[in-house]
Amino acid sequence: MSADSQRVVYRIHHQTHYGYALPVRLSHQVLHLTPRELPWQQCLSHTVNVLPAPQLVRSYADNFGNIIKAFSLDTDHTSLDVQADSWVALTPRGQPQESMAWDEAAMSMAYHGGRMMAPGMLDASNFLFESSHVRIKREFIRYAAECFVPGVSVVEGVRALMMRIHEEFAFDPTATTVSTPVTEVFVNRRGVCQDFAHLMLSCLRSIGLAARYVSGYLLTEPPPGQPRLIGADASHAWVSVYCPDPEGGEGSWIDADPTNGVFPDTSHITLGWGRDFLDISPLRGVLIGGGQQTMQVAVTVMPGEEARGLQLSI
């Protein structure tokens, strides 16, 4: 069966609404809402609508190659609506292939004075260290050690760690906020996809493997006989682990979703990646004024055949 015959198309509608108790006089916003172009993913179209409408929306790539849209509003406003509408095509990636031993991979990523790194390995080295939401600690080394015994391959170690987190941590949207430390998530064994991604990253980086935070969407299916609920989905997060090439080539990245215990394929749509959530949050900005604010986010991911001609504004 050809890759084209297995291609799936999705429409993603992502709406964010901010309400402000007092007028906002100046607002600068940065959006990470443009799906990436990847060997298995093609962005067929992407539009962003903002109300109040800014005079100019700039697009540029960040340090990780993600497409950013940025705008400013300098007129008083008491609400802000951002709607992103994307059509994306995916082809199957297949299961990760066998790889080198994880301890060999960690050794090859370790610093050696005067050594020249291949471009792929140099890029991956950005994801070896602590960041705002990821910690390198002995407790994470001990937790990962059961999965990464000496000599086990990177793929099998990642699979074991992904499944351990999936089985031992409870999905609980009320247990954490965006600022909950990963150490607290580790103790309480509860959280959401963002927390589980940060936890898995902390374990992987603590044992010397390069791993990045991936932001995107996941197709969810309604219960049998029930219609798909518009706006009921949410952003998703998982991790991607770097495996060096023993021959000195570019190496490869292995995606893993600890929330669901699966290696991502055609149900996972990739927006972008960074060191953690802070690098790739869907909408982030600064403002003057506003007072107290409220935020509502509604996401809809639909197969293309369901979405054609459907009005998704919420």
pLDDT digits (tens, 9 = 90+) for 11-40: 999 999 999 999 999 999 999 999 999 999
Task: Give tens-digit pLDDT for 237-287.
Answer: 999 999 988 777 788 999 999 999 999 999 999 999 999 999 999 999 999
CA 147 to chain centre: 23
Pair 191, 214: CB distance under 8 Å: no
* Ordered alpha helix ranges (H), 86-137: 102-109, 119-124
Calculate the alpha carbon distances from 152 to 36, 257, 291, 311 in Å: 32, 20, 53, 50
Pair 158, 227: CB distance under 8 Å: no
**Maximum Cα interatomic distance, the chain, rounded to a whole number of Å:** 62
Q: Is the pLDDT of residue 314 over 60?
A: no
Is residue 283 within a helix (H) or strand (E), and if so which, with residue range?
strand 283-289
Task: Give tens-digit pLDDT for 48-89.
Answer: 999 999 988 999 999 999 999 999 999 999 999 999 999 999
At residue 160's C-alpha, the angle toward residues 156 and 162, to 5°, is: 115
Task: In whole angstroms, give the CA distance from residue 125 to residue 274.
Answer: 12
At residue 296's C-alpha, the angle toward residues 293 and 299, to 5°, is: 155
